[in-house]
Chains A and B, each alone.
Chain A
Amino acid sequence: DAGVIQSPRHEVTEMGQEVTLRCKPISGHDYLFWYRQTMMRGLELLIYFNNNVPIDDSGMPEDRFSAKMPNASFSTLKIQPSEPRDSAVYFCASSLPPGETQYFGPGTRLLVL
């Protein structure tokens, strides 16, 4: 298996623009997680899905952030409109049961100017 795949790997955009991050989890994994990592706040869980259904989105910072999982092999995290404080590395991870080993993608490094 290729592991968790994320795209793009790097994104530079201007404030106010829409940003879409993409993730393909490991085949057969029922759980998908979106994290954000910054120096100041560390690794934060934004939202996670079970069988394509959002289970907990309490970590989503505000309404500008939205996430979808239309099928078992694809998820998106969208920021609209983007702001400079959204600059961070965004990771997608997948797992079987949620408390077991999580497999992380390489991350998307987002810079909002």
Chain B
Amino acid sequence: SQQGEEDPQALSIQEGENATMNCSYKTSINNLQWYRQNSGRGLVHLILIRSNEREKHSGRLRVTLDTSKKSSSLLITASRAADTASYFCATHGAQKLVFGQGTRLTINP
């Protein structure tokens, strides 16, 4: 399966600190995406990185992709209480987008 696996499953940090989440996958991909899900809500797209890209930024988000290691990381800098959510990576291979199990991020005030 090309399913992404996030690591860690849960992360708790203090407000203002940086949060790093990792995603590993098994097969070749066209792109990798990160989504956020607040409790009781739908998933919201954060960023998409294509297989020929190595790094991408969006505001306080930084995503890296290492296709040789089949891994990606999501860095959230200067975390805020509002960043508390679950974060999912999703890989696009042949056709479908396949989601991992997510990392539960808690930002403590």
Contact = CB atoms under 8 A, between A and B. Distances in A.
Interface stretch (B37-45, B58-66, B70-78): B37-45
Interface string B92-106: 100111111110000
Nearest to A45: B96
Residues of B in contact with A, size category: 20 to 34
Interface string B4-44: 00000000000000000000000000110101000001111
Interface residues of A, number: 20
A56 B95 contact: yes
B85 interface: no
Contacts of A98: 92, 95-97
Interface of A: 4, 33, 42-43, 45, 48, 55-56, 91, 93, 98-107
Contact of B97 (A4, A55, A102): A102
Given A42-B99, A56-B96, A91 B30 contact: no
B42 A107 contact: yes
Given A99-B30, A99-B97, A104 B48 contact: no
Contact of B45 (A33, A99, A103, A106): A103
A43 B91 CA distance: 13
B87 interface: no
A106 B42 CA distance: 5
Nearest to A35: B99
A43 B33 contact: no
10 contacts: A42-B101, A43-B43, A43-B88, A93-B42, A99-B95, A101-B33, A101-B45, A102-B43, A102-B97, A107-B41
Which A-B residue pairs are the 5 nearest by beta carbons?
Answer: A99-B92, A104-B42, A43-B99, A104-B43, A101-B45
Contacts of B45: 101-103
